[in-house]
Structure 1
């Protein structure tokens, strides 16, 4: 299996060429790697709307609203599962164990289907005033979108980027072509076409997983202990997804004006939703730069640092490697923050020129400017979140997304009575505070990477007899003090990496 940095390094080499075509192509590929499924899904929606609704669609808004709600339900339910199972699969492959992968996939699907049945079936079945066929298609829509988002992490750990991109590209093409074939442009037939496109996506992804891991379905006993030892990962996934949607739900339900209601319970706010969509889209170029350059260079630095333990490096050598990581992380976070500010300022300027082409209205502009500022802080906070996960500091990473989720909900609700001029300010303030928290956590933890590598995240600190031992919190030279939990100091052992 190729290491993670192979693709990154190839793209980074292309960005150093003297050809503008190669440089631009490298960043386009990077953007597709980090946001390809989302981009192709949006393109499929646009293509379906163009081909099916050339003469107008009375129910196009209803169809899009159902897709928005399906995306929300899918992200909230799948994120905790994906965070947990992706880590488990990665650990299993690192240990050379492949027999339990299909079993893990089956468990992930079971948890997802059970949760969706509890949440979505009552919502559409008894809450929404849709026809029976529309309700069935809407539930099917949630299931298909969620399944694709569960399959992506299983392929991601094997670096099957091209398969994922090809699957979503073919799904978008299928949606567009089916738009010509449907008998009528109703919400039901639009949903059927969209679902058929995602069925193509899921079929390709599932076949690829079976071809990669085989059909062996051995029960993996370690899977049942996963939540106990790594509970922070699903909690972080849940907080991450809820943080992205909590402000939108509050605006849909509680905004005094500007909302749109369909089928009884499906409420949206076009002015707020459109501004947030374009704001999130604007961050993709910077995320692509992170993927091409920062992740690649960090891989090299981390190999030098963590490889030092295997080489029995001295404490001085480890401290030097750790210092290089600290300088690299802080300097690049500052650089990415500055780049995000430039992109946001550019988007604000362009939005006035291409207002109608972007589907914006004058009433949306204040929200768009606020949303772009919010994305600067939110994306920077997510970079901090990613670095903390790189260091396996799961509780610190969880604190960032949990803070954003809580503050986003509280501040959006609190500022809502102040009027439309303050729409989006709750999200912006929450993102800014979350970024400050994440940056502070990194400043705190970066000097202690050697401690976390040896003690905090060391799962093998135990005797061969099975007796658990504790480690005194001292790291002097290459000696670690080992203490039996019920006895005074039992002596010292040479640390062998």
Structure 2
């Protein structure tokens, strides 16, 4: 799915500062669009909403968004991963006529399966005004829809409509909050936020359907992939659960807060971790523009020569070129993200002063920034393994992250506030080391893996 990265890379070929700035800026929005929108719009909504509603109502709004963000990501993960694989296969086959049908069916599948959880929760398990409950339910489904259409963003060749959709959506959302919060309180804040989300969702849907102007045929053709690629579906849930399990555990710490009846959270931990995650945006942008595109070119060359029965010497040269690219791009990423991570950690007091953040979050924030550094490195290695279809090793590594994050967070929580954040940090270090050595081993053995282990005629032969 590196297609849009090649278009963005053309901007860097202009050999001027503006071209590079535009390429990485677009890449950041495309690779992290839903996430950036949520953070920016949530921050803006809370800031402007503070002029109209009291602290308790702001807390209710914030926890609704956090819950919807977390659980929609968890529950949509399996469908999103399967749809990503199905779309990638259709693009490879040059037969994308089934895309509109898949999009409609996947949206329906997500909405129908999620409604049995989200609707009873907000209607019966929370102590909110009725209008707020309906606005919260609508917000959940809008976020869920954006997770799914995000599958298509890097497959679209024209990135300008994507950028406009997110920019206009943020502007509409904040503008509506200003108009509605004063009169309608939390319901108005949610409604304004939802208007922005709705614009983004429908603008992206329109762009996708314009890119793939075909009748909605074979809508459930992708469903067979759940059986064929069950590791991907399970991994979509496990990976997201692994990233959130420390937050869920910390919601039961002695410092938790309860909002609207049964909605629990830990504002200092959640806020510090959300802010820490923003530090990986530069590396996400670089990954789309340079790292993935360079890797993809060598990857295609390696398998293309194999399919054309190239001589062994050329295949081995391609293999070495692939290894060199992984090492080179890994080194570039280490320098980029490592330098940015150290800068953010050293500037944490200044950042907290600028943003007016509670200094109790600083220790958690610094550990979160370090953890995000190792987390995003593991994520890129997961993507590398996925290119080679190493589904089971990837799933085992994701389970490693889930288990280690759960265990270390429970231990750190029991040691008190000064140890909060160590669980996530240690889990990311363990996961990265395991993923790094696994990736090195499998890529070094790639010719053997390709010709023997992944060769159906060989692996299925009787001994």
TM-score > 0.5, shorter chain as reference = yes
Give 3-state SS (helix, strand or coil) of 1:356's partner. Answer: helix
Deviation at 1:46, TM superposition (A): 3.4
Per-residue deviation, residues 278-316 of structure 1 (Å, max 9, x unmatched) = 211111112222222211211221232122124321112
Contact 1:388 1:394 in 2 (8 A): yes
Correspondence list, 1:446-457, <5 A:
446-454=443-451, 456-457=453-454
2:221 equivalent to 1:234: no
Per-residue deviation, residues 236-278 of structure 1 (Å, max 9, x unmatched) = 11111111111001101x2112x22211122221211121112
Higher gyration radius (CA) = 1
Report what 2:202 is aligned to: 203
Report what 1:368 is aligned to: 365
Contact 2:323 2:444 in 1 (8 A): yes
Per-residue deviation, residues 213-235 of structure 1 (Å, max 9, x unmatched) = 23512226743421111111111
Size of the aligned set, in residue pairs, is 461
Report what 2:417 is aligned to: 420
Correspondence list, 1:172-187, <5 A:
172-182=170-180, 184=183, 186-187=185-186
Give 3-state SS (helix, strand or coil) of 2:264's partner. Answer: strand
Contact 2:30 2:153 in 1 (8 A): no
CA distance in 2, matches of 1:391, 1:208: 30
Q: TM-score, normalised by structure 1?
A: 0.86
**Higher relative contact order at CA 8 Å, sep ≥6: structure 1 or structure 2?**
2
CA distance in 2, matches of 1:115, 1:196: 24
Deviation at 1:162, TM superposition (A): 2.9
Give 3-state SS (helix, strand or coil) of 1:267's partner. Answer: strand
CA distance in 2, matches of 1:222, 1:130: 40
Report what 1:66 is aligned to: 64
Report what 1:161 is aligned to: 159
Deviation at 1:5, TM superposition (A): 4.5
Q: TM-score, normalised by structure 2?
A: 0.93
Give 3-state SS (helix, strand or coil) of 2:215's partner. Answer: coil
Contact 2:77 2:240 in 1 (8 A): yes
Deviation at 1:33, TM superposition (A): 2.4
Contact 2:272 2:368 in 1 (8 A): yes
2:318 equivalent to 1:321: yes
Per-residue deviation, residues 390-437 of structure 1 (Å, max 9, x unmatched) = 222111222222211121112111221111111111111110010011
Deviation at 1:198, TM superposition (A): 1.2
CA distance in 1, matches of 2:374, 2:119: 36
Report what 1:47 is aligned to: 44
Report what 1:382 is aligned to: 379
Deviation at 1:43, TM superposition (A): 2.6
Relative to structure 1, the CA distance from residue 13 to residue 400 in structure 2 (aligned partners, 3 Å threshold; closer, same or farther) is: farther
Aligned residue among 135, 138, 152 for 2:136? 138
Give 3-state SS (helix, strand or coil) of 1:312's partner. Answer: coil
Contact 1:151 1:205 in 2 (8 A): yes
Give 3-state SS (helix, strand or coil) of 1:283's partner. Answer: helix
Relative to structure 1, the CA distance from residue 30 to residue 2 in structure 2 (aligned partners, 3 Å threshold; closer, same or farther) is: closer
Report what 2:401 is aligned to: 404
2:106 equivalent to 1:108: yes
CA distance in 2, matches of 1:56, 1:140: 21
Deviation at 1:119, TM superposition (A): 1.9
2:236 equivalent to 1:249: no
Report what 1:284 is aligned to: 281
Per-residue deviation, residues 48-102 of structure 1 (Å, max 9, x unmatched) = 3444443554412211111111101111112211111111022123223233222
Report what 1:148 is aligned to: 146
CA distance in 1, matches of 2:94, 2:375: 36
Correspondence list, 1:454-465, <5 A:
454=451, 456-457=453-454
The farther-off stretch of 316-325 and 174-183 is 174-183
CA distance in 2, matches of 1:377, 1:111: 34
Report what 1:117 is aligned to: 115
Contact 1:348 1:369 in 2 (8 A): yes
Give 3-state SS (helix, strand or coil) of 1:354's partner. Answer: helix
Q: Structure 1 regions of 5+ residues with no counterpart? A: 462-469, 473-481, 489-497
Contact 1:49 1:179 in 2 (8 A): no
Per-residue deviation, residues 348-383 of structure 1 (Å, max 9, x unmatched) = 111112322234222212111211111121111111
Contact 1:5 1:296 in 2 (8 A): yes
CA distance in 2, matches of 1:154, 1:31: 16
Contact 2:5 2:288 in 1 (8 A): no
CA distance in 2, matches of 1:206, 1:414: 44
Relative to structure 1, the CA distance from residue 2 to residue 274 in structure 2 (aligned partners, 3 Å threshold; closer, same or farther) is: closer
Contact 1:381 1:439 in 2 (8 A): yes
Aligned residue among 439, 444, 458 for 1:471? 458
Give 3-state SS (helix, strand or coil) of 1:261's partner. Answer: strand
